[in-house]
Amino acid sequence: MSARIATWWTILRICLEERLVYRGDFALGTLMRFLPIVTQIFLWYAIFEARGSSALAGYSYEEFVAYYLLTMVSRAFSSMPGLASGITRQIRDGEIKKYLIQPVDMLGFLFLSRFAHKIAYYSVAIGPFALVFFLCRGYFHNLPAEAATHSPATAAAFAASLVMSFVLGFYLEASLGLIGFWWLEVSSLLFVYMLFNFFLSGHMFPLDMLPQPWRAIFDAIPLKYLAYYPAAVFLGKVKHADLAIDLCVQFAWVVFFIGLSRFMFQRGLKRYSGFGG
Amino acid sequence: MEGMQYLRVFLTFARNSLIRDMTFRANFILESIASLCWMLGNLGFYALIFTHTPYIGRDSGWGQYEFFVFLSTTMFVNSLVQTFFMANVDEFSELIRTGGLDFALLKPIDTQFVISLRKIDWSSLVNFFAGAGLLVISLHKLSVRPDNPLHVSPTMVALYFIYMLCGVAILYSLMIGLSATSIWLGRNQTLYDFWFYITNFSRYPMEIYSGTWGRPLRWVFTFAVPVLVVVNVPARILAQPLRPNSSLSFSLAAFAIVATVASLLGSRWIFNRALLSYRSASS
């Protein structure tokens, strides 16, 4: 056991050091990523102005802006740039042979390296994030009593949903990448996934805005846990019993995708013929 | 006569790109569908917004179909930029890094011309046609509405296309100007991202930038980096010809011409200056 922990620790440390090489580019890039939110803030201000500033889908203007800022946080946890395409490339080029001949589990190794990547990312990104949230602190003043700013229980649920969104995001993308065992080229599939992720995860707008039956459909698929759900929890939009149920559903999705990716990996290895490399 | 030769070279580029695209036909169709889906997702998002509000901005006149005219203008401009310039300019910094630019410099033809138009991405043109469809539908809806119907005159259409091309020219100048700086900087991935984020400001009517923070932003993105006039001026000509403050629109339209000429000349100057500092990499 201690040997295994030592292995994990080494993997984690190597990946951390690798990541921190480009920290200047990192920090600038993170700050840039907030720029589209500036236009969103102005857009929604104009919309609320035209409506006579009544609440929209249960959100006040301030809550709208807070929502967008919070989805940036959830996406900082759940987004896995290059994970699926990396896995497919490794399968195609035969690079995954290195996991097969070494006593290292591929999914575990990738998970740890993502974990290290995220830690490195947060340690740099916390600066730009803190700056933006500080500048926008006014939008968080009038939140209801259920919001994470007032209720420790909501704050805990928010933290739990964020951690799970990381794990869910990882195993969901890993499952997509493992399709590479069956199809050699999955880039068009990944584009479709990105498209769905962009519009259905709540990255563009709070899903509460949708009319039925769309609302029910969007609720049933796991993508909402990648952006919408943690933000909605923070703002106190998910109440009492629903909160507990939804967290359990999120957990169930996490377990499902862990199981699915393990299963796909096992089955894929049987087909794998190790070209190239 | 020289113009004719450039036209012939351009047509050769266009034909070669089309041949290449048609070689991988399934990929071409997939790419077309992908950019169409992206557009439909955006359209759905705005349709959703207009189920919650009659206008974007109080008294701005940007109702649903006025905004859809705006949106189709965005699609025209973006698809033209993507079809003709995006892939080429994207590759430009790569050419600098690898030293491949040598081959472009050796050709007995204007370097900026070769660099900018070498490859034409025909699949991006699908959004141009989708935009045309959306434009026709929106204009029809606007011209048959009972109160204050819109009359589209041939002059308006002509002006619309001229200003749309001005918009394309402004965006192209920004792109080529930014990527030419990679001769000095080596690698400019963040700079290229920066271009992407700046054009983000061109996507909405300029009225939304108001108030203490909005006004300076509007000023910067109109006069310093003229991305706001790219879509706003043509879209306004078609969608809002009868706005009360038409004198403002007139001066804005005059300014758009100045901005186009200035951007083209400015980017040409930057491009040539940057070439002077080019030291070929190993090739």
Looking at the complex, report in whole angstroms how far the Cα of residue B5 sits from the nearest Cα belonging to chain A.
39
Give B-chain residues touching A36 at CB under 8 angstroms.
Answer: 197, 200
Of the ranges B86-95, B184-193, B240-249, the best mean pLDDT one = B86-95
Using CB atoms, pick whichever of A25, A35, A46 lies closest to residue B190.
Answer: A25
Phi, psi of A59 (to 5 degrees): -110, 135
Residue B96: band (very low, low, confident or very high) from pLDDT cuts 50, 70, 90: confident
With a CB-CB cutoff of 8 Å, which residues 170-229 of chain A face chain B?
A: 188, 191-192, 195, 198-199, 204-205, 209-211
Give A-chain residues touching B207 at CB under 8 angstroms.
Answer: 46
* pLDDT of res. B240: 73
B134 pLDDT above the threshold of 70: yes
* pLDDT of res. B244: 52
Put simply, whether A39 touches B (Cβ < 8 Å) is: yes
Point out the residues of chain A with pLDDT beneath 70.
19, 22-27, 53, 274-277
Specify whether the CB–CB gap between B237 and B163 falls below 8 A.
yes
B248 pLDDT above the threshold of 70: no
DSSP B187: -
Specify whether the CB–CB gap between A244 and A155 falls below 8 A.
no
* pLDDT of res. A24: 67
CA–chain centroid gap for B252, Å, is 18
Using CB atoms, pick whichever of A35, A49, A211 lies closest to residue B200.
Answer: A35
* pLDDT of res. B103: 83
Using CB atoms, pick whichever of A47, A188, A192 lies closest to residue B49.
Answer: A47
| Between residues B155 and A276, the one the model is more confident about | B155
- The owner of tokens 């104009």 is A46
CB atoms closer than 10 angstroms to residue B280: 12
* Cβ–Cβ below 8 Å for A195 and B41: yes
- Three-state DSSP class for residue B262: helix
b/e code A220-231 from CB counts within 10 Å (16+ = b): eebbbbbbbbbb
Put simply, whether A56 touches B (Cβ < 8 Å) is: yes
DSSP B84: I
pLDDT in tens, B206-220: 888 887 888 888 888
In terms of Cβ atoms closer than 10 Å to its own Cβ (0-12, 13-18, 19+), residue A275 is exposed
Looking at the complex, report in whole angstroms how far the Cα of residue A259 sits from the nearest Cα belonging to chain B.
30
* Cβ–Cβ below 8 Å for A195 and B38: yes
Put simply, whether B48 touches A (Cβ < 8 Å) is: yes
Q: Is B3 left (phi over 0), alpha (psi -120 to 50) or beta?
A: alpha
Q: Is A52 left (phi over 0), alpha (psi -120 to 50) or beta?
A: left
Give B-chain residues touching A205 at CB under 8 angstroms.
Answer: 45, 48-49
Put simply, whether A22 touches B (Cβ < 8 Å) is: no
Looking at the complex, report in whole angstroms how far the Cα of residue A199 sits from the nearest Cα belonging to chain B.
7
pLDDT in tens, B20-53: 888 878 888 888 888 888 888 889 889 988 888 8
Put simply, whether B204 touches A (Cβ < 8 Å) is: yes
Put simply, whether A260 touches B (Cβ < 8 Å) is: no
Domains in chain B: boundaries: 2-276
Residue of A nearest to B203 (CA): A39
- The owner of tokens 């370097």 is B111
Q: Name the strand (E) or helix (H) holding B179.
A: helix B154-180
Specify whether the CB–CB gap between B79 and A78 falls below 8 A.
no
Distance CA B245, CA B254 (A): 15
Put simply, whether A46 touches B (Cβ < 8 Å) is: yes
Looking at the complex, report in whole angstroms how far the Cα of residue B222 sits from the nearest Cα belonging to chain A.
15
Task: Give the rounded percent of residues in chain B with a pLDDT score beyond 90.
Answer: 14
| Between residues A28 and B140, the one the model is more confident about | B140
Put simply, whether A160 touches B (Cβ < 8 Å) is: no
What's the CA dihedral at B152, B153, B157, B163 to 10 degrees? -100
| Between residues A277 and B253, the one the model is more confident about | B253
Using CB atoms, pick whichever of A42, A46, A209 lies closest to residue B48.
Answer: A209
Using CB atoms, pick whichever of B45, B194, B201 lies closest to residue A39.
Answer: B201
How many angstroms separate the Cα of B75 from the Cα of each of A71, A119, A140, B35, B57? Answer: 27, 39, 35, 11, 22
Give the dihedral sign, CA B153/B155/B157/B159: negative
- The per-type count for chain A, helices as H runs and strands as E runs, is 12, 0
Of the ranges A170-184, B89-103, B145-159, the best mean pLDDT one = A170-184
Phi, psi of A96 (to 5 degrees): -70, -5
* pLDDT of res. B241: 62
* pLDDT of res. A23: 65
Residue B242: band (very low, low, confident or very high) from pLDDT cuts 50, 70, 90: low
Give A-chain residues touching B34 at CB under 8 angstroms.
Answer: 188, 191-192, 195
